[in-house]
Amino acid sequence: SDCNFYITILSVMNFCFFHSILYYSWYFIYFQKVIKEKKDMKYVLASASPRRQELLTQAGFTFDVIPSAVDEKITKDIPSDVVMELAYQKALDVYESRIKDNPAYQTEDCIVIGADTIVSYRGEILGKPADNEEAFDMLSMLADRTHQVYTGVTFAGCIRGQQILHTFYEKTDVTFYPVTKEDLHAYVDSGDSLDKAGAYGIQGAFAIHVKGIEGDYNNVVGLPIARLYHELDSILPKEKIHYAF
């Protein structure tokens, strides 16, 4: 009868609804656990950069800071390859010399994070300026133009007995407004440009000259924190998921 038919339909709908709620509740709990494990793991930042430290802290990571003292060697020409090469050297240096055989890090999983950022314009790599004159020249070249910021990141460590060595890079396009010589001199004379690739910090006073960006803002600051988080997710050993329904 029509009544039995509708009762059957309602029963099926209730069954599906119940199992959907059960599935998504379990799914939420599982991934909350994964997120917590990811953030609670032991991390070491192989960089003294306060900007990178701030980004990791804002994202909820707990970490130690052990800057790399490696003698950096560049053998590549392409900007993306250069930052990955340098990030790799930094992370591996700290892991091999300070972490791998250190008893303080033997009781838990640990990942060393190495990072390096450069600015590139028309294929020319711009590192940190040696002095104010070089900083002024760099910024004069970048004014009213679009350049690229590359950050390479390497994870080196051990998780659940599995060796981890993983490198990636992120690129962001940055466009400046035209900048007067007076404004350039004022910024350079402030001293803010000397410890920054490309001679500027996007999060500081020079932000008033940034016309726009295409890509990850945090990558320009020094660490693509969202990409870092998802790259971590891609390399962490996964628990096999068993479905009960």
25 Cβ contact partners less than 8 Å away, ≥ 6 residues apart: none
Q: Cα–chain-centroid distance for residue 119?
A: 16
Express as a percent the part of the chain with pLDDT over 90. Answer: 69
Q: Which of 93, 109, 116, 216 is catalytic?
A: 116
Please return the burial class of 94, using the count of CB atoms within 10 Å of its CB with bins 0-12, 13-18 and 19+: buried
Provide the pLDDT for residue 32. Answer: 44
Torsion of CA 218, 224, 227, 229, to 10 degrees: -100
pLDDT in tens, 44-53: 999 999 999 9
Give the pairing of strands 42-45 and 110-121. parallel
CA distance 28 to 35: 10
pLDDT greater than 60 at residue 229:
yes
pLDDT in tens, 157-188: 988 888 899 999 999 999 999 999 999 999 99
State the pTM of this model. 0.80
Told to judge if 116 belongs to the known catalytic residues of this protein, a careful annotator would answer yes
CA distance 179 to 209: 7
CA distance 61 to 35: 11
Tell me which residue has tokens 């020249």. Answer: 137
Provide the pLDDT for residue 79. Answer: 96
Closest C-alpha among 121, 127, 157 to residue 237: 157
Provide the pLDDT for residue 20. Answer: 55
